[in-house]
Amino acid sequence: MRTTKLIPLAAALTAGLLLAGCSADGEPTGASGGDAPTTANVDKAALDTGDYPTTPAPPYGYADPTSAGSIEGQRLSEFTTLPYEIDADLTEVKMPTGPLKDGGAVSMLISGNVSQVALDNGMMTGFSTVASTPGRDNSRSVLHAVLRFGDNAAATAAAEGIYQGLLTEDSGMGLPVPENIDVLPNTKVTVHDIPDLKKVDVNALTVHGDYIIYTWASAPTDQKDWTAKSVAKALQLQEPLLDKFPATPKDKTKELKIDQNDLLIYAVPNKEGDARQTSQMAVYGPRGMAHRSTNPQLTYEVLTGAGVEHAASYNTSVYRAASADDAITVLDAFVDDLTAAGFAAAPAPAGLPDAKCLAKDTTSGEENYCYVVNGRYMGEAGGLDKKDVDQQIAAQYLILEQADQDAE
């Protein structure tokens, strides 16, 4: 899926929305297809795995009160609209894309004191996704989020509190005004024209059962119609997805498995002491992985076509395809995508000649990605340190040697 590390982006503080100053995890896509990877030439004695484990992790067990919201948010990602589905040009993924572990996380989405509103009304979990049109000139952006509460009454109260906060808390650029969108009679909408920036921002809040569907859209002033159409499209797509979400009952969070599909045990974990993001130590579906991808549409379509129902994300990512041929198809698609983005073939790790590695110089340093296939499984490692990425993919290869090829 090409998962890039977090890359700083310009922060955008608007009337009621703070886009954090960093991009979302993306993933590499890339390299020429070529012959199918094999493991016949592996020299295990030459593999350098550093301090990374080389065997599957023990079972991760069940969520505790501090992790349940993040895990449920990871699950919710598979039932959240992708920005490119709202507008095909929304392909540059940004933060805050990822699970929202509780009401306090709403402060990443909306400025002011509205996160306290979410906390006071018992927000349980959520998921947010953000993307813009590439480039800075004439850019359009959408932040789309789903926030879960204990019941409809709590969601309704929270939506009203957030709405009033948007209308009354000045973030430094003046206050928005309420507005009605004819096709969204049950949606609370604010509009903020910002002449100094030559842009307009729209916030939309819709209560749907126990959830708030929140969409922020921003565009140049002369494209105000686009913002209204975008929030309407987001809601149209989101409601049927949300109706399919198999939410964990409030009293069953202790029964929520961390490793939903016995796949996370095969991903290489972070090094001891390294910070873990809420989007990590997770199991996603194709849609969940696409939210964080450098090429969301390709990721979703390739994974779906290859029968990748589940993928694990930790320090590395692991994809379980329908067959060995399907795993190779995913690898080739990702490598071709990265190649098209300017990545070039890089040396494979010592002892693992059939790994596919790519590199590209960027403003953040040299970005590196490596891939390896074992049966139905494909492992992916990425980062700015070539030696570390090589160690990750070497460890990943040894772990995947022990993976259950008959898992469902």
CA–CA gap between residue 39 and residue 49 (Å, rounded): 17
Tokens at 72, concatenated: 């449920």
H helices present in 194-250, as ranges: 224-243
pLDDT tens digits, 134-173: 876 669 999 999 999 999 999 999 999 999 999 998 878 8
Q: Between 296-305 and 324-340, two packed helices, what is the crossing angle to 10 degrees?
A: 160
Q: Is 382 helix (H, G, I), strand (E, B) or coil?
A: strand
Q: Are 380 and 371 in contact (CB under 8 A)?
A: yes
SS (H, E, C) 155-182: HHHHHHHHHHHHHHCCCCCCCCEEECCC
- In the chain, % of residues over pLDDT 90: 78
pLDDT, tens digit (0-9, with 9 covering 90-100), for 303-337: 999 999 999 999 999 999 999 999 999 999 999 99
Q: Is the Cβ–Cβ distance between 210 and 151 less than 8 Å?
A: yes
* Contact (Cβ atoms closer than 8 angstroms) between residue 163 and residue 205: yes
SS3 state of residue 319: strand
pLDDT tens column, 32-84: 333 444 456 899 999 999 999 999 999 999 998 888 999 999 999 999 999 99
Average pLDDT over residues 250-270: 92
Cα 310 to the center of its chain, rounded Å: 14
- Site of tokens 């926030």: 147
Domains and CATH numbers, the chain: 24-61+257-400 (no CATH), 79-243 (3.40.1000)
Indicate whether 11 pLDDT > 70: no
Angle, CA of 180, 16 and 126, to the nearest 5°: 90
- Per the CB < 8 A criterion, the answer to whether 392 and 370 are in contact is yes
pTM: predicted TM-score of the whole model, two decimal places:
0.89
Are 16 and 201 contacting, i.e. CB atoms less than 8 angstroms apart? Answer: yes
